[in-house]
Amino acid sequence: MTDAIKMQLSAFVDGELSDEESELLIRRIGRDAELRATVAEYHAIGRIMRAETAPAGMDGLLAAIRDGIDADEVPLAEAVEQPPSRRLFKPLAGFAVAASVALVGVLSVSQLTSTVAPADVVADSYSTPSVETISDPELGARWGLSDGGLGALLTTVEIRQQQLDTTTDEEPESAEDDAEDAEE
């Protein structure tokens, strides 16, 4: 990916790209998996910088697309509080977001950035994937702890949470005792 594209992407996420350039970029995002991944990253960085407060261009765009709002409807822009973002949505109406290639691209971005359920933490290419489908969840949790790394630990936490949700007879330890351990 060239620096020019990165700059363009950054401006797009900030809602500062011109109408014409936005239109071209969205089409390109629809075709380019790497670009979609980068959009997701920029979006995540943006959320951190904004401390999860004001929705900027991407937030509003993704929310609107997720809600299935017709591109010709103005309320799309009303979801966005920041003036630069309003500019971003006007061209969308103009060139019909419904154009399938762009829509597919943007929807992919929304999937990348949304909080997903366990069943979504999967690759399309491999079987019926999800933490839920492993025949013996305890083995999955044991693997996660013995393997190391953040991904493995998060998998273990996910499995343990599912076990908590389904187990009703397990009594947790007293909070006081363990809270003392936590203080150590």
Partner 1 sequence: MSLRVCLATFLICGLIASDVHADEPADWLQRMGEALEEATFRGVVIRQQQSKTETFKIYHTVRDGVIRERLVRQEGDGLEIIRNGNEVHCVIPDKQAVLVEAWNGQGTLFSPIQDKLDAIAAAYDFQLTGQERVAGRDAIIVSIKPKDEMRFARRLWLDEQTGFPLKSERLDVNGALVERIRFADIELDAELRDDDFASRYPLDKFKWYPAVEPTTTGDEAVWYSASLPPGYRMESGHVERLDRGGAVVTHIVYTDGLSRVSVFIKSASGSAATTRNRLGNANAFSVARGDYRITAVGEVPPAAVEQIALSMQR
The residue to which tokens 């929705």 are assigned: 55
Tell me the C-alpha distance between 46 and 25, whole Å: 19
Q: For the window 44-63, what string marks contact with partner 1 as x by the rule CB under 8 A?
A: xx-xx---x-----------
- What's the 3-state SS for 87-98? HHHHHHHHCCCC
If the CB atoms of residues 44 and 54 are measured against partner 1, the closer one turns out to be: 44
- Our finding on whether 22 is near partner 1 (CB under 8 A) is no
Which residues, numbered 28-47, are part of the site for partner 1 (CB under 8 A)?
37, 40-41, 43-45, 47
**Binding residues for partner 1, how many (CB under 8 A)?**
63
- Our finding on whether 173 is near partner 1 (CB under 8 A) is yes
Tell me the C-alpha distance between 11 and 112, whole Å: 19
- Our finding on whether 120 is near partner 1 (CB under 8 A) is yes
If the CB atoms of residues 83 and 136 are measured against partner 1, the closer one turns out to be: 136
Start-to-end C-alpha separation, the chain: 48
If the CB atoms of residues 68 and 136 are measured against partner 1, the closer one turns out to be: 136
- Our finding on whether 155 is near partner 1 (CB under 8 A) is yes
Backbone angles phi, psi at 46, to 5 degrees: -60, -40
Q: Which of 2, 135, 166, 168 binds partner 1 (CB under 8 A)?
A: 135
Tell me the C-alpha distance between 76 and 91, whole Å: 12
- What region, left, alpha or beta, does residue 124 occupy, with left being phi > 0 and alpha being psi -120 to 50 degrees? alpha
Nearest to 85 by CA among 46, 57, 43: 57
The CA angle 1-16-30, to the nearest 5 degrees, is: 45
Stretch that binds partner 1, among 23-31, 63-71, 77-85, 135-143 (CB under 8 A): 135-143
Binding site for partner 1 (CB under 8 A): 37, 40-41, 43-45, 47-48, 52, 111-113, 115-116, 120-123, 126-131, 133-136, 138-158, 160-161, 164, 170, 172-179, 182, 184
